């Protein structure tokens, strides 16, 4: 009998040990973060991770009592690598959620992983429209805290009409993100009486626009461009060198704060739209820019802001749950209900878990901001469209009936 | 080492791998599966590079053809999600072989660095199609597969899928071994050593090289099918030049003309790329360093190490 009682005593001790450790483990919030750390997108990846890390540092990594453990993985800007790293985060590191991915295709690749592994995925940057539109039903654990590609460009189309532009030529990087940005702009612009008279699609990564710029129609009132990364630096330069006098509009990434510091006089006066501008003149943003710049030595881009705000939204949920992980499904529900006063302005999620937020029409200007000594290029906000959702003014039902924006949709019916 | 002892050692290692798999972590098992799939491609390239002396830089093309075929069949027709998995395997291998049969017509006429350039260009054509043919391939978004097949056994379970891939790996290794040991295989080695002489001896060297090229394409296609189901995603990134270069380096790293070396090279490269990259951010330097050191100091690759050691011992014994 002594043997058996010894065993039961050990068992009791083991149970007691479990009971002691279990709540401690529940108060750890494990977050996986996917961003490119090597390769051509490495610097963007740093902006993303820095934004999130800064929020953690400022809150001491304490979300309503839960201690946050952040695990950053290098997704290299390649969708298949993103998938493998997400698998690693969930299976080996047992994260509660994974966040990030840079490119739209990476978002499309990560969303099914979240469904398969029943783990929350927060798309803080990938903007592929259909993730929170036609495909959402497939991804019950997906929440987006960033934007859809077409979201800022619907208002920009409207704005272009208000400027009296009638005929616009579009030059955009030839891939899904470019198609969706141009699609959004075209739909809104043609809806208020404008005409897209030409669409030129240079391949992604084009550095020499020599073959494209001369083909821009002289009859256009303005040029709409969507560039990413190094393309964004080259296009305005070569356009200016060709003697262009037309006004230039751009998609959000053509002039975001990630490319802006490397640009010169050639972009002054260019207008673009996005949910964030580092030159946003609010106390919240002014303080954010100063803190970020002091810490990382550069002006924050929307890549930083979006992830900072994502951390803030997660914090909000964990405050409500008092640091307890509510389970994946419940977490998605709670996160969808969060309303925050973010750096970029008020943010809430629509019923398809995409942010409803301010869209800023921004003009590149050389000026001093926030008490910095030097004249620098800033995206001065010239107009704010408040409370813009992913369906703009079309209504969800109506909008979802049309196919996703693509190279051929909306059709270019005014092309000459 | 005698042939029999080598075989015994190989069987021992494979058996140990199969026995260890159930105890591997959930992420490790994925990496091993990945390494085995790429090992099949690397071995197929070894048939060209190591045995025939054809340095192909477009092996990812056949991988891509197999993978995209799998993804398109699965998403458009729901084909390959049950027992028809086996049919897709056959179709994938055939598609890879057919693509190689087409490409071979252009590539085989060239040798050396010209062969390298042509295969590179042809490989980029496949990448270009994957990237630009939006309606078929989904462009840069790629294609998400609905899941893994289920036919009595659920391949969705990673361990089960590992054993399936393991089976295909062993079968491929066996088949390629039989091929390189056959008279046909010996004639390939002859071509590698001195093509003119083989031609003078009456061999149709063009045809021999062509057949080897097509066989390698077939194995590439097979690996593509396995890769597509493994990742659940097919993307132009799978077909891009980097994959071809990686596969070429796996062969060089492991030791060309050994088959097993290619598998070893695959294991090392996958470990560095996929595992080391989760530990440190400077992993590309390690990968680069390994390549440089191998090419400088180990012309026979990792498989050449025992030979090196023996020679070094002999030399020091003579002194």
Reported as a single tens digit per residue, the pLDDT across B119-166 is 999 999 999 999 888 889 888 888 999 889 988 888 888 899 999 999
In a domain, B118, yes or no: yes
pLDDT beyond 80 at B1: no
Contact call for residues A21 and A58 (beta carbons, < 8 A)? no
**Mean pLDDT in residue range B55-72:** 94
A79–B235 CB contact, under 8 Å: yes
**Mean pLDDT in residue range B38-44:** 95
Consecutive 10-residue runs of chain A (416 residues): their mean pLDDT? 44 43 62 91 92 96 94 92 93 94 91 94 94 94 96 96 96 92 96 95 90 95 91 93 94 91 93 95 95 95 95 95 94 95 95 96 94 93 96 94 91 90
B25–A116 CB contact, under 8 Å: no
Radius of gyration (C-alpha) of chain A in whole angstroms: 23
Query: By residue range, what is the domain housing residue B217?
Result: 27-318
- Please work out, in degrees rounded to the nearest 5, the angle formed at the alpha carbon of residue A357 by the alpha carbons of A353 and A362: 135
- 């998938």: which residue's tokens? A83
In this prediction, residue A381 carries a pLDDT of 96
Rounded to whole angstroms, the Cα distance separating B200 from B196 reads 6
In a domain, B81, yes or no: yes
Contact call for residues A112 and B144 (beta carbons, < 8 A)? yes
Query: A336 Cβ partners below 8 Å, 6+ apart?
Result: A143, A349, A351, A353
Task: For residue A236, give the 3-state DSSP assignment.
Answer: helix
- Return the domain boundaries, chain A: 22-126+282-343, 153-280+358-401
Closest-CA distance of chain B to residue A103, Å: 9
Q: Which CATH number is A153-280+358-401's, of 3.40.50.1970, 3.20.20.70, 3.90.1150.10, 3.40.50.2300?
A: 3.40.50.2300
Contact call for residues B123 and B61 (beta carbons, < 8 A)? yes
B235–A38 CB contact, under 8 Å: no
In a domain, B210, yes or no: yes
Contact call for residues B137 and B64 (beta carbons, < 8 A)? no
In this prediction, residue A5 carries a pLDDT of 43
Q: Nearest CA to B230 among B302, B155, B171, B304?
A: B155
Tokens of A390: 């992913």
> How far apart, in Å, do the first and last CA atoms of chain B sit?
24
- Residue B111 has what DSSP assignment? -
Lowest mean pLDDT among A53-62, B65-74, B283-292: B283-292
In a domain, B61, yes or no: yes
Q: Nearest CA to A347 among A253, A255, A275?
A: A275
In a domain, B16, yes or no: no
Would you call A67 exposed, middle or buried from its count of C-beta atoms within 10 A (0-12, 13-18, 19+)? middle
Question: Per residue in B209-242, pLDDT tens?
Answer: 999 999 999 999 999 999 999 999 999 999 998 8
We find that the CATH architecture of domain A22-126+282-343 is 3-Layer(aba) Sandwich (3.40)
Helical spans, DSSP H, in A192-267: 230-241
Tokens of A54: 């800064």
**Which of B24, B26, B27, B155 is the mutation pick for testing A, counting most A CBs within 10 A?**
B27
In this prediction, residue A275 carries a pLDDT of 96
Contact call for residues A279 and A299 (beta carbons, < 8 A)? no
Rounded to whole angstroms, the Cα distance separating A135 from A133 reads 6
CATH code, B83:
1.10.3470
Sign of CA dihedral B168, B170, B171, B173: positive
In a domain, B17, yes or no: no
Residues of B in contact with A113 (CB under 8 A): 232
Q: How many CB atoms lie within 10 A of CB B56?
A: 32
Query: Is the preceding peptide bond at A410 cis, omega within 30 degrees of 0?
Result: yes
In this prediction, residue B2 carries a pLDDT of 67
Tokens of B296: 């400088």
In a domain, B9, yes or no: no
- 């940005």: which residue's tokens? A181
> How far apart, in Å, do the first and last CA atoms of chain A sit?
96
In a domain, B257, yes or no: yes
Q: How many CB atoms lie within 10 A of CB B76?
A: 10
Helical spans, DSSP H, in A275-395: 283-296, 302-320, 328-337
Q: Does the beta carbon of A113 lie under 8 angstroms from any beta carbon of chain B? A: yes
A43: Cα separation from own chain's centroid: 15
**Which of A49, A80, A127, A178 is the mutation pick for testing B, counting most B CBs within 10 A?**
A80
Report how many domains make up chain B: 1
* pTM (predicted TM-score): 0.87
Q: What is the ipTM of this complex?
A: 0.85
Interface of A with B in 329-388 (CB under 8 A): none
Residues of B in contact with A112 (CB under 8 A): 144, 232-233
Rounded to whole angstroms, the Cα distance separating A338 from A161 reads 34
Q: How many CB atoms lie within 10 A of CB B241?
A: 14
């Amino acid at each position: 009998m002594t043997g058996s009682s010894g065993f039961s005593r050990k068992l009791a001790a083991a149970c007691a040990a479990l009971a002691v450790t279990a709540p401690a483990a529940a108060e750890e919030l494990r977050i996986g973060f996917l961003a490119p750390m090597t390769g051509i997108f490495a610097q963007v990846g740093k902006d993303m991770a820095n934004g999130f890390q800064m929020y953690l540092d400022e809150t001491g990594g304490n979300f309503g009592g839960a201690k946050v453990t952040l695990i950053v993985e290098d997704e290299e800007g390649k969708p298949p690598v993103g998938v493998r790293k997400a698998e690693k985060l969930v299976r080996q590191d047992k994260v509660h959620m994974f966040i990030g991915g840079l490119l739209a295709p990476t978002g499309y690749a990560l969303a099914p992983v979240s469904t398969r592994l029943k783990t929350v995925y927060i798309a803080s940057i990938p903007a592929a429209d259909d993730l929170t539109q036609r495909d959402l039903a497939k991804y019950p654990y997906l929440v987006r805290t960033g934007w859809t590609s077409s979201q800022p460009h619907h208002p920009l189309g409207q704005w272009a009409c208000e400027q009296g532009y009638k005929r616009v030529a579009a030059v955009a990087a030839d891939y899904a993100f470019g198609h969706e940005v141009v699609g959004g702009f075209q739909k809104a612009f043609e809806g208020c009486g404008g005409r897209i008279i030409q669409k030129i699609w240079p391949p992604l990564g084009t550095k020499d626009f020599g073959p494209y710029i001369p083909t821009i129609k002289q009859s256009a009132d303005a040029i709409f461009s969507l560039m990413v990364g190094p393309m964004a630096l080259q296009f305005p330069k070569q356009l200016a060198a060709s003697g262009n006098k037309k006004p230039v509009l751009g998609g959000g990434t053509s002039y975001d704060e990630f490319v802006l510091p490397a640009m010169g006089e050639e972009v002054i006066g260019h207008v673009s739209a996005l949910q964030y501008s580092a030159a946003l003149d609010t106390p919240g943003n002014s303080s954010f820019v100063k803190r970020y710049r002091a810490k990382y030595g550069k002006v924050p881009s929307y890549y930083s802001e979006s992830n900072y705000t994502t951390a803030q939204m997660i914090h909000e949920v964990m405050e409500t749950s008092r640091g307890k992980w509510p389970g994946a499904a419940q977490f998605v529900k709670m996160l969808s209900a969060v309303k925050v006063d973010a750096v970029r302005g008020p943010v809430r999620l629509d019923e398809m878990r995409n942010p409803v937020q301010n869209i800023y029409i921004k003009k590149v200007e050389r000026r001093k901001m926030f008490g910095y000594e030097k004249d620098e290029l800033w995206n001065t906000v010239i107009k704010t469209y408040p409370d813009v959702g992913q369906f703009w003014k079309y209504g969800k039902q109506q909008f979802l009936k049309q196919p996703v924006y693509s190279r051929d949709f909306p059709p270019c019916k005014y092309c000459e | 080492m005698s042939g029999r002892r080598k075989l015994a050692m190989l069987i021992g290692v494979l058996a140990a791998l199969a026995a260890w798999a159930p105890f591997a972590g959930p992420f490790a098992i994925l990496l091993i599966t990945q390494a085995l799939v790429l090992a099949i491609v690397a071995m197929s390239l070894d048939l060209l590079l190591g045995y025939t002396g054809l340095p192909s830089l477009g092996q990812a093309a056949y991988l891509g053809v197999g993978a995209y075929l799998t993804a398109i069949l699965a998403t458009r027709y729901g084909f390959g999600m049950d027992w028809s998995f086996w049919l897709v395997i056959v179709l994938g291998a055939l598609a890879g072989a057919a693509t190689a049969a087409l490409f071979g017509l252009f590539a085989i006429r060239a040798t050396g660095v010209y062969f390298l350039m042509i295969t590179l260009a042809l490989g980029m054509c496949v990448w270009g199609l994957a990237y630009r043919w939006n309606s078929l391939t989904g462009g840069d978004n790629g294609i998400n597969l609905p899941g893994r097949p289920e036919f009595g056994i659920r391949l969705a379970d990673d361990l089960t899928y590992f054993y399936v891939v393991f089976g295909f790996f062993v079968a491929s290794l066996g088949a390629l071994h039989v091929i390189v040991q056959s008279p046909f295989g010996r004639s390939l080695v002859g071509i590698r050593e001195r093509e003119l002489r083989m031609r003078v001896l009456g061999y149709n060297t063009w045809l021999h090289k062509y057949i080897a090229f097509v066989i390698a394409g077939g194995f590439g296609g097979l690996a593509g099918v396995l890769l597509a189901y493994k990742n659940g995603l097919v993307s132009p990134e799978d077909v891009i030049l980097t994959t071809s270069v990686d596969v070429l380096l796996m062969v060089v790293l492991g030791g060309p003309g050994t088959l097993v070396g290619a598998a070893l090279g695959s294991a090392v490269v996958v470990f560095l790329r996929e595992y080391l990259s989760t530990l440190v951010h400077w992993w590309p330097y390690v990968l680069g360093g390994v390549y440089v050191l191998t090419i400088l100091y180990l012309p026979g690759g990792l498989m050449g190490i025992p030979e090196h050691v023996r020679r070094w011992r002999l030399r020091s014994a003579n002194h």
